[in-house]
Amino acid sequence: MKSIRAISHVIFVVFFLSLGAWCYGQVEFDVAPMEKAEQQALYSTIQGFVGNSWNGSDLYPDPCGWTPIQGVSCDLFNGFWYVTVLNIGPVHDNSLICAQNLEFRPQLFELKHLKSLSFFNCFQSQKSFPITIPTGNWEKLADTLESLEFRSNPGLIGNIPSSFGVLKNLKSLVLLENSLTGEIPPNIGNLIKLKRLVLAENYFTGRIPDIFGGMSELLIFDLSRNFLSGNLPLTLGSLTSALKLDLSHNLLQGNVLNEFGNLKNLTLMDLRNNRFSGGLTLSFQEMYSLEEMVLSNNPLGGDIRTLKWENLQNLAILELSNIGLIGEIPESISKLKRLRFLGLSDNNLTGNLPPKLETLPCLNALYLSGNNLTGEIKFSNEFYGKMGRRFGAWNNPNLCYQVGVMSTSNVPYGVKPCQEEVNLLESSKKTEVLHGDVNQESNSIASIGFSSDATNGFWWTFLTKVLLMGLFIDYYII
């Protein structure tokens, strides 16, 4: 019994000491210090963006502890707090708001463990207070920086610094909705760990550099809404991990790459509003993961029947409007059971409309206007009711709809009724009208007191008497 008590006592003491050690360690963790140089670098960096009136040491004496700064995150390294995330701009209500006349201070590059740096809606005035991205000191962040973003900054002008190429650990580079100009620097190709490269909605010009051979980890690639020109670089076919490729709204030209067939993981390809030509490349039908293919407003040309559309079973959006397609709409498109949107407007498509398009279970928008489609649309009234105004087939002069199939509320806009049915209907109506007139005359006669049979007998009797009287008169005169 005594031995049991002794063991219990030992266990209690060990537990108490362990608890004390844990609590002691937790206290040490909570009050871990921040290097003075790191703290001063943080205060000076923020002050450069929000204005000199911001007094960080008074407002936030412990920026990584009990007085945290919105937009700033820290981690422990060797027992000291260091800044790892710095977000400048009105992301939240109490975020750091940029001043009009601001600056990038060199202390920014003294944050030796910085992993993520972003500026949102910070540089506002391109005319009054324009600012450029600093070209130097980025090498100081080369070992740590993984994410660099400038979003929605109309006052941010100038070129992309070629020194970005030293950021060897960068995984995300986003320069979205700014006023940046110039060409894309070839040094961007050094960023082989990039998973996201977004340079959309700026004023970049020139060719897309042929630098993507080593960027096999890239998932998101977006150069849309710039003024990029020239042919596509062949190394785009090396982006074998890519999920999204958006080159829309540029001045790009030439053929679409055969190398796109290597992009087996791509789910979105948007090439609209460019100057691509050369028809639908066969490599498209090898992109089995595609969910959205948008090629509209390019002078591509070619026959829509070139591709085996049934290969693209994951397609949900297929937008091929205004690309100069010819030929008949292939019935194989009706095998794309996940298709929700089909746009084929403003091409030179001919022939009849495949009735099996109605069987697509997910289809909720079908646009075929501005072609040379012919014949009768053989869709059901239920289909027209389901689609409503999302079915467009106007400006097809020789296309018509069945008159008796649908209600007047579901008649497709801009499509005429089939003429043979109209003629038959009009003929039927005329016959009805004619019979109606005859019956009306009979009824009029009957209304004065004679039945139709009686009337017929009366008139025959009357005519007989007239004839006999005529003969009698002739005989008498002779």
pLDDT tens digits for the chain (478 residues)? Answer: 444 454 455 444 444 444 444 444 443 444 579 999 999 999 999 999 999 999 998 999 999 999 999 999 999 999 999 999 999 999 887 889 999 889 999 999 999 999 999 999 999 888 888 999 999 999 999 999 999 999 999 999 999 999 999 999 999 999 999 999 999 999 999 999 999 999 999 999 999 999 999 999 999 999 999 999 999 999 999 999 999 999 999 999 999 999 999 999 999 999 999 999 999 999 999 999 999 999 999 999 999 999 999 999 999 999 999 999 999 999 999 999 999 999 999 999 999 999 999 999 999 999 999 999 999 999 998 999 999 999 999 999 999 998 877 778 888 889 999 985 444 444 444 444 444 443 444 443 333 333 334 334 433 334 334 333 443 334 333 3
Q: Which of 326, 390, 394 is nearest to 360 (CA)?
A: 390
Looking at residue 94, its pLDDT comes to 82
> For 313, phi and psi rounded to 5 degrees?
-70, -15
Q: Which of 340, 329, 377 is nearest to 355 (CA)?
A: 377
Looking at residue 70, its pLDDT comes to 93
Looking at residue 420, its pLDDT comes to 59
Query: Is 203 within 8 Å of 178 (Cβ atoms)?
Result: no
The dihedral through the CA atoms of 291, 333, 328, 386 has a sign that is negative
Residue recorded with tokens 């005035």: 125
Q: In the structure encoding, which two tokens stand for residue 28, read together?
A: 């040490």
Looking at residue 467, its pLDDT comes to 38
> For 241, phi and psi rounded to 5 degrees?
-95, -5
Looking at residue 241, its pLDDT comes to 98
Looking at residue 31, its pLDDT comes to 57
pTM for this entry: 0.82
The dihedral through the CA atoms of 363, 368, 373, 375 has a sign that is positive
